Each structure stands twice: as structure tokens, then as C-alpha cells.
Amino acid sequence: MLKWFSKKKEEDCTPLDFSVLKTDIHSHFIPGIDDGAPDLEASIYLIKKMQELGYKKVITSPHVMSDFYKNTPEIILEGLTDVRAELKRQNINMDIEAAAEYYIDFDFEQKIGKEKFLTFGDNYILVELSFMQAPNNLFDIIFKLQMEDYKVVLAHPERYAYYVEKDYEELVARGVLLQINLLSLIGYYSPKIQQKTKGLIAENQVSFVGTDCHNMSHAALYEKCQTQKDWHDLVNSGKLLNATL
């Protein structure tokens, strides 16, 4: 049994930039529609930072939440058009696409099979859960999505305090792909989340890694992630799918 909460101190490694990933799948760069970039200027600043960190492509993923961020594909794609136009105007050579980060709740479940969701790559759909508790029928919802040919990617599973090792094992066994946040590698959210992230990496359960970048404060921390042993281990696992997108 893996000791998920070992606190052994590890030495920093030689920086390994994110060109090995090529693509970031989780960010909030469409201006003014969620808790990410507030305006176009901030969007461009953050995208330029992604380029400096080695990314060749970003798939930005605005929140879609029925009671808070009532974004639609039309709203998101209209914002994407504006961002692309400004990148072109400034001669910034960064490929950008848009999907969404869907909050799983009752309203989301009602849309399955009735509405087309924004996806990325091979029909991957990025979803998130409440930080309080998972829906009681989560596996039914996942199955419904899979029956519609979606490949379910769970955003930042390490941040759900109610999940323990066996829960992650069951999610993976049911075909859910796990996407950890880079900042979890450096204890940004909490030391406990950092240790859970180590466990997921050690068990080869991570399929995607994302910045989940919302703002300039986040952007300033990613270089530190590049020196973490867990980041090197994650790359060396051969499990990451980012570069296939």
C-alpha cells in the first residue's frame, strides 16, 4: 500500500519546461465570463506567459455552472474569437482553442444527450465536482456521458478532500481520466493536497496535467513547478496525454 502522506523532503531538479506537454488543457483565459481573466489585456498577458513557459497551445476552459457562470458554447466561442483576433493583431504565435469546465449538478445531468458540450481532442469533456461532496449518482452521470461517446476528464481530483486512495482507483477503473493541477505539486492549495498529488503520480493514475490558470498570481508560480521531482516523475511516467492534442 502506497504511503500517500510521506513528508520526506526532496531536492529540486533541473528545470524542465512545459514544451514537453505542448498543450495546456485547463485555464480561464476568455475575458470577463468567469473568475479568470477579467479583460482582454489580462487574457493576452496570461497567454504570453504560457508561451514563455514552453506551451505551444492552450485549450482554455471557462467555468459552466448553472447557478453562477451561465456560459453557453456561443458565449465562450465568441470570446475565443476576440482573443484570437487580439493575438493576431499583436503577432503572438500561440494556438488557442476553447472547451469548458462543466460543473456536475442536476442541471448538467439534464443536458446530457440533449445538448452538445464543448470538448477537446478526442471528445474529451472536462468536468469538476463540488468541493463539499460528490453527487450521489456520480457514476450514473459518468456512464451517461460515456454512452454519448464523451471521454470524461475529472479536473483537479486531488483537491476534493472527501476522496481517498480507493476512490481514485474506482474512478480510473470506470474510465475516468484524472487531470491534476500543476500548482498542487508545490503545495499551493495545501500540504495535504500536495501529498495526495504525489500519490496519484506514484500510482500512475494521472492522464492530464493543467495549469488551471486564473490570474497573474498563478502565472508567476509555474516556473517553480518545473523543478519539482514529482513533475519530472509525471513526465517520465509516459502516461500524460497533453502532447497528443
User: In this structure, what CATH number is given to the domain that contains residue 171?
Assistant: 3.20.20.140
- pLDDT band at 109; cut points 50, 70, 90: very high
- Mean pLDDT over 91-114 rounds to 97
- Mean pLDDT over 186-193 rounds to 98
What CA–CA distances, in Å, run from 16 to 10, 21, 56, 156? 16, 10, 15, 21
Look at residue 8 and tell me if it is in a domain: no
Please name which of 104, 100, 179, 169 lies closest in space to residue 140, comparing C-alpha atoms.
Answer: 104
> How far apart are alpha carbons 54 and 76 in whole angstroms?
25
Look at residue 108 and tell me if it is in a domain: yes
End-to-end Cα distance, the chain: 33
pLDDT over 80 at 199, yes or no: yes
- pLDDT band at 151; cut points 50, 70, 90: very high
Look at residue 125 and tell me if it is in a domain: yes
All cell numbers assigned to 212 = 488551471
Over residues 22-47, the pLDDT tens digits come to: 999 999 999 999 999 999 999 999 99
Over residues 4-20, the pLDDT tens digits come to: 555 555 678 999 999 99
- Mean pLDDT over 74-95 rounds to 98
Look at residue 14 and tell me if it is in a domain: no
Pairing of strands 95-98, 63-64: unpaired
What is the residue range of 121's domain?
Answer: 19-244
pTM: 0.95
> pLDDT at position 127, please?
98
Look at residue 1 and tell me if it is in a domain: no
- Mean pLDDT over 176-198 rounds to 98
The total domain count for the chain is 1
> How far apart are alpha carbons 149 and 71 in whole angstroms?
22
> How far apart are alpha carbons 52 and 68 in whole angstroms?
32
Please name which of 163, 161, 158, 199 lies closest in space to residue 180, comparing C-alpha atoms.
Answer: 158
Look at residue 49 and tell me if it is in a domain: yes
Look at residue 221 and tell me if it is in a domain: yes
